[in-house]
Amino acid sequence: MRIVLGVGAGIAAYKVCELLRLLTESGHQVRVVPTPDSLRFVGAATWAALSGQPVTTSPWDDVHEVPHVRLGQQADLVLVAPATADLMARAATGQASDLLTNVLLTARCPVVYAPAMHTEMWQHPATTANVAALRARGAVVLEPASGRLTGSDSGPGRLPEPAELYQTALRVLARGATAVVPDLAGKRVVVSAGGTREEIDPVRFIGNWSSGLQGYAIARSAAARGAQVILVAANTALADPAGVSVIQVTSACELRDAMAAAAADADAIVMAAAVADYRPATRSDAKLKKTGSAPDPIVLTENPDILRELSGPRRRPGQVIVGFAAETGDLIANGQAKLAAKGCDLLVVNKVGNGLAFGTADNEAEILAADGGRTSVPLGPKEVLAEVILDLAAERLG
């Protein structure tokens, strides 16, 4: 695939060297188009050496090749990182003051912006309006990460990690021409992931083997399709997906509270987390010690049914809700019974245990719909299942 990697004039430009390496080593042809001021941070020689392609900032270089038109016309993806406040302002107002802004005007492929700037600049009304304008025209503008910025400042405005931006690029490229107009643009999607832990004492818990990989794949794909995504993560050890706001929780009750709050204005909800059915009725404040005799039985109490609550009468009108059901028996019979009991629109039923699903890169599932539909997804990368789930959800969102 042919990728134009636009580089804005921000200190985060140094991180884009790693993104470029990931893209080129996976076989993509990458043409780096920096803004003139970005070369104050990373020089043209570095970009040329890493990409193996010529680097210029001016539409007046190699005029016979008409680069200000050809680069945009021929690209399969334009990825801008870091996308500074100044660069997005110029793009939103249709300026063509350098080669990169010319490319952005001529590109008819998917365009993804990865913003990076100080918090005050990101939250300024002018930037907010420019981001809205770019999104309205079909561009994917990712939400910046939160964390350490230049100097001692911290907050939203940090460039997402290169590995996660790479994954976003792969998701957009995999969708091809269908990604030119993001089908989830303007939608709010809430995803849960991971496995809850119910504490017995300060060092022990009741839990499950869920790694969160499937939920993270769904969140990552939803962001790449233009959605504003909140990911409620239970006990995962994964990097935050690019453009996704992450809320960390531990127990089923914490997950319930976080999902209820996030669901209030969500267009779609995907409950991919593995929620413990039970929790200890009481938690010991001190570690339980061996006594030489059998311990007292641990009395369990039932956890709330989060999916059924979200699908209940208080759900937002038009909201699409997707549930997951991990099964070891008859997928279809058990899935249909759960679908009827939970009240969700779609139920993703997959086999687990003995090395299946939990903690693996692959998954397979039967997706059952409340309207009687059924979609079979054969064994393959979890990213593929994520895209099918979002396809079905997007259809129902209209």
Residue 277 near residue 303, CB atoms below 8 Å: yes
- In the chain, what is the straight-line distance between the N-terminal and C-terminal CA atoms, in Å? 30
Tokens of 179: 């990604």
Rounded CA-CA distance 284/199 in Å is 9
The residues, ordered by sequence, that sit 6+ positions from 161 with a Cβ below 8 Å of its Cβ are 15, 145, 239, 240, 242
- Asked if 235 is an active-site residue, the reply is no
Q: In this structure, which amino acid lies at residue 357?
A: A
Select which of 102, 130, 208, 303 is catalytic.
208
Catalytic residues: 208
